[in-house]
Amino acid sequence: MTLVNQISKVVKIYLTKHQEKMLDGEKGDAIAKLMQLIVKIGEVNKAEKLIPIKSAQIAGVSYFTVGDSIFSFFDLLLKDEVKVSVPSWLNPAGMDRNKWKAMKIDEKFAKKQFEIIQTYEKMGIETTLSCTPYLIGHQPSYGEHLAWSESSAVIMANGFFGARTNREGAPSSLAAAITGLTAYYGLHKKENRLPDVLIDVEAQIIHPSDFSALGYWFGEKFHGLIPFFSNIKNVTLDKTKMMASAMASVGSVAHFHIQNVTPDAKTINQKDVEEHIIFTENEKQEIYELYDSTEGEVDLVTVGCPHTSLSELVLIESYLKNQSLKEDVEFWVFSSNKVIQSKDASNTIENLESRGIKIFADTCMVVSPVVRNNFSNIMTNSAKAAFYLSRDEHIKVKLLQLEKIMERVIK
Partner 1 sequence: MKKMKFRSIVDGKVEGEAIVSPNPISFFGEIDPQSGIVLDSKNPLYGKTIANKIFVFPGGRGSTVGSYVIYGLKKNQASPLALVTNKAETIVIAGAILAEITLVDQFEEDVTTIIKTGDTIQIDTEKQMLKIK
- Minimum CB separation of residue 216 from partner 1 in Å reads 19
Of 290, 292, 249, nearest to 388 (Cα)? Answer: 249
Asked if 24 interacts with partner 1 (CB under 8 A), we say no
3-state secondary structure of 379: strand
Task: Determine, following the binding rule CB under 8 A, whether residue 133 of this chain makes contact with partner 1.
Answer: no
Site for partner 1 in 141-170 (CB under 8 A): 149, 168-170
Select 68 or 327, whichever has its Cβ closest to partner 1. Answer: 68
Closest CA to 68 of 38, 107, 108, 106: 108
- Residue 270 backbone dihedrals phi, psi, to 5 degrees: -55, -30
Residue 72 near partner 1 by CB under 8 A: yes
Span 282-321, contacts to partner 1 by CB under 8 A: none
Minimum CB separation from partner 1 for residue 373, in Å?
15
Site string for partner 1, 170-199 (x = CB under 8 A): xxx---------------------------
DSSP state of 9: S
As a whole number of Å, the end-to-end CA separation of the chain is 68
Among 27, 28, 54, 73, interactor with partner 1 by CB under 8 A: 73
Nearer to partner 1, 65 or 231 (CB): 65
Question: Using the rule CB under 8 A, is 7 a contact of partner 1?
Answer: yes
If binding means CB under 8 A, how many residues of this protein chain bind partner 1? 28
Out of 3, 102, 206, 278, the residue judged to bind partner 1 by CB under 8 A: 3
List the beta bridge partners of residue 275. 197
CB of 22 to partner 1, least distance (A): 15
- Does an H or E element contain 92, and which? none
- Least Å distance, CB 67 to partner 1, is 6
Residue closer to partner 1 (CB basis): 105 or 366 = 366
Going by the DSSP 8-state scheme, the letter that residue 58 receives in this structure is E
Binding partner 1 (rule: CB under 8 A), the pick from 6, 234, 322, 354 is 6
41 scored as a contact of partner 1 (CB under 8 A) = yes
DSSP class per residue in 306-367: EEE-HHHHHHHHHHHTTPPBPTT--EEEEE-HHHHHSGGGHHHHHHHHHTT-EEEES--TTT
Q: Which stretch binds partner 1 (CB under 8 A): 35-43, 80-88, 201-209, 403-411?
A: 35-43
Give the residue, chosen from 19, 36, 212, 259, that forms a contact with partner 1 under the rule CB under 8 A. 36
Report the residue number, 52 or 67, with the smaller CB distance to partner 1.
Answer: 67
Least spacing, CB of residue 193 vs partner 1, in Å: 19
**Closest CB 305 distance from partner 1, rounded Å:** 16
Q: How far is CA 336 from CA 39, 218, 331, 333, in A?
A: 34, 28, 17, 10
Cα–Cα distance between 314 and 94 in angstroms, integer?
25
Under the binding rule (CB under 8 A), the answer on residue 8 touching partner 1 is yes
Binding to partner 1 by residue 69, rule CB under 8 A?
yes
Cα-only R_g, the chain: 22
Sole binder of partner 1 in the list 47, 60, 177, 308 (CB under 8 A): 60
Q: Closest distance between partner 1 and the C-beta of residue 267, in Å?
A: 28
CB within 8 A of 273, min separation 6: which ones? Answer: 195, 196, 197, 198, 228
* Distance between CA atoms of residues 148 and 169, nearest Å: 8
Q: CA-to-CA distance for 236 and 263, rounded, in angstroms?
A: 14
Minimum CB–partner distance for residue 62 and partner 1 (Å): 8
Pick 176 or 313: Cβ nearer partner 1: 176
Is the torsion defined by CA of 16, 21, 22, 23 positive or negative? positive
| CA atoms of 403 and 216, how far apart (whole Å) | 20
Residue 112 binds partner 1, judged by CB under 8 A: no
Contact positions vs partner 1 (CB under 8 A): 1, 3, 5-8, 33, 36-37, 40-41, 44, 59-60, 65-70, 72-73, 149, 168-172
